[in-house]
Amino acid sequence: MMVPVWLLVASAGAQAEPVLQGEDAYGSWQADKPGTVRLIRPQDLAKPGASRSVSNPARVTARGRMTPLVPEGFKVELLAEGLSDARVLRVAPNGDIFVAETGPGRIRALRLGEGGKLATNDVFASGLTRPFGIAFFPNGDNPQWIYVATASNVVRFPYRTGDLKASAKPDLVVANLAQASGHSTRDIVFTPDSKRMLVSVGSASNVGEGMGSPPGGIEAWSRTQALGASWGYEAGRAAVLSFDPEGKDRKLYATGIRNCVGLAIQPQTGLPWCSTNERDGLGDDLVPDYVTSVKEGAFYGWPWFYIGNNEDPRLSGARPDLKDKVTIPDVLVQPHSASLGMTFYQGTQFPSEYQGDAFAAEHGSWNRSKRTGYKVIRIRMKDGKPTGEYEDFVTGFVVNDSQVWGRPVGIAVAKDGALLISEDTGGTIWRVTH
C-alpha cells in the first residue's frame, strides 16, 4: 500500500502549502481547491486492479450563478457565453481570440474591447469536420495563414492581421490524417523556426484493440507508421506527426502517446509538449494522465506499457522487446482527469513566479468512482524544467457527486496577460486576472 506523504513548499502567495503525495495526491473533486499542490511519481502508481474499473459519467447541469474558483489575489470573469462546444483557444498576435466550436464545425473570432470585455463575436469559418487545433503561420507578428486541424485533415485559410472572417475557401494541406473512429481531436503547432508543422493524432482505441502486431521492434513499428502502411486501424495514430508547412515530408516525431490532445511549444526550450489522455479500465488510480515534453524519436509506451516499463496486463508478454525503450513523462496527473488543452505563461499580468509555468485544462473523469479533473492546473517549472508538481489553479466546476456545470478544454494567454479558459458543456469562456 502506498504511504501518504506531506511536504511543505512556498506557494505563489509566499505561504507554506502542503504537497499531496502518495495516495493523498489522487483524491477526488471534493479535495480540489485553488492552491492545492500535488506530486505523483512513477513509484506511487497503484497496482492494476487495486480498485475496480467504474463507469461514472457526469451529468451536466445549468450553471446558474455559479462561477469558477481561483487563488487568492486572482479574479475570474465571464468573457463569453452562448458558444457551442467551445474547445481550443488561440490568440492572434493582434489579440483577437480564435475559438474552435468543434461540434458545429466552426471557427469563431472574438475581439476584445476596453477593459478586456468582449466587443465582437464573428464566425470566421464554418463547414469544417470537427475542427480542433488552430495555429497561425508563420510565427511572429505578421502571420499569413490560419491552419486548422480537423478530425481527418489539416486545412489553411489566408489571413491578414485583423481578419474576423475568412477571405477565401481553405486549402487542403494534409489529407487522410487518420482513419476509422476513436479520438478525433487533432492539435497543431509550428516549431519556433516555422519549418516544421507538428500534429497530434490520438489512438482509435483504449489499448489497441484490433490493432494487430507488426513484426520487429519499435523501430519497425515507427517505419510502418511513417510509411502509412495498414497493420490494423492504428497506423499513424497515437503519435505526434511532423510535416513541412506545405504538408509534405511526413514523419513520426514521437510515438506511443495514446492521445496527445493539447500541443504547445515551450518558449524557453523550443520543445513541444503534450497534454495527454492515458488509458482506462485498470481501476480508479491507473493510469495517470500526463503533461510532458516530447522528445523527437521517443516512444511513450502505449499500448503495451505505461509510465515507463509498467506492462499493461491486458497485453502481457506481447512486446517484451519494448520494455526498456519507454520514455517516462515529466508530470503525472490524477488518473482519468482527461487532460486537454495546455499553454505556457509568458504574460506579465500574473506575478513573476508564474513566468514560464504551464497551464493545462482537465476535462474531467468518467472512469473513476471518485470524480476528478474538471479544473485547470498550473504546472510548476524551475529554470525551464518541470518540478513534477502541479497546483489546482481554477476549480469549482463540479456541483456534487453526480453533477457538473462545466468541463474545461481550451486555455490560452490573452495579449494583456490574462488567462483564458473555455469549457464545452456550457459554451463559456472565462478570463482570469491578478
Q: Which pLDDT tens digit goes with each residue over 332-354?
A: 999 999 999 999 999 999 999 99
What's the pLDDT band for 181 if we cut at 50, 70, 90? confident
Nearest of 178, 136, 142 to residue 157 by alpha carbon? 136
Tens digit of each residue's pLDDT (9 = 90 or more) over 390-406: 999 999 999 999 999 99
Higher per-residue pLDDT: 64 or 222: 64
Asked if the model's pLDDT at residue 15 lies above 60, the reply is: no
Average pLDDT over residues 179-208: 93
| Residue-range domains of the chain with CATH | 5-433 (2.120.10.30)
The DSSP result for 80-145, as a single string, is: E-S-SSEEEEEE-TTS-EEEEETTTTEEEEEEE-GGG-EEEEEEEE---SS--EEEEESSSS---E
Q: What is the pairing mode between strands 5-10 and 16-21?
A: antiparallel
The span from the CA of 200 to the CA of 109, in Å, is: 23
Collapse the DSSP code of 313 into the 3-class scheme (helix H, G, I; strand E, B; otherwise coil) and give the result. helix
Q: How far is CA 299 from CA 187, 190, 291, 351, 432, in A?
A: 19, 21, 15, 36, 36
Average pLDDT, the chain: 91
Asked if the model's pLDDT at residue 218 lies above 70, the reply is: no
Q: How far is CA 374 from CA 99, 257, 324, 406, in A?
A: 20, 22, 34, 7
Q: What is the pLDDT of residue 270?
A: 97
What's the pLDDT band for 235 if we cut at 50, 70, 90? confident
Nearest of 175, 174, 157, 172 to residue 98 by alpha carbon? 157
Q: What is the pLDDT of residue 1?
A: 35
Q: What is the pLDDT of residue 231?
A: 38
The span from the CA of 363 to the CA of 38, in Å, is: 18
Partnered with residue 125 across adjacent β-strands are 107
Nearest of 13, 69, 10 to residue 351 by alpha carbon? 13
Q: What is the pLDDT of residue 152?
A: 93
Portion of the chain with pLDDT greater than 90, in percent: 86
Average pLDDT over residues 118-137: 97
Q: What are phi and psi of 244, to 5 degrees?
A: -85, 170
CB-based contact 82:427 (threshold 8 Å): yes
77-101 exposure pattern, b = at least 16 Cβ within 10 A, e = fewer? eebbeebebbbbbbbbeeebbbbbb
Portion of the chain with pLDDT greater than 70, in percent: 90
What's the pLDDT band for 209 if we cut at 50, 70, 90? confident
Average pLDDT over residues 115-144: 97
Tens digit of each residue's pLDDT (9 = 90 or more) over 245-298: 999 999 999 999 999 999 999 999 999 999 999 999 999 999 999 999 999 999
Helical spans, DSSP H, in 202-289: 218-226
Helix, strand and coil content of the chain, in percent to the nearest 5, comes to: 10, 40, 55
CB-based contact 46:390 (threshold 8 Å): no
Q: What is the pLDDT of residue 2?
A: 38
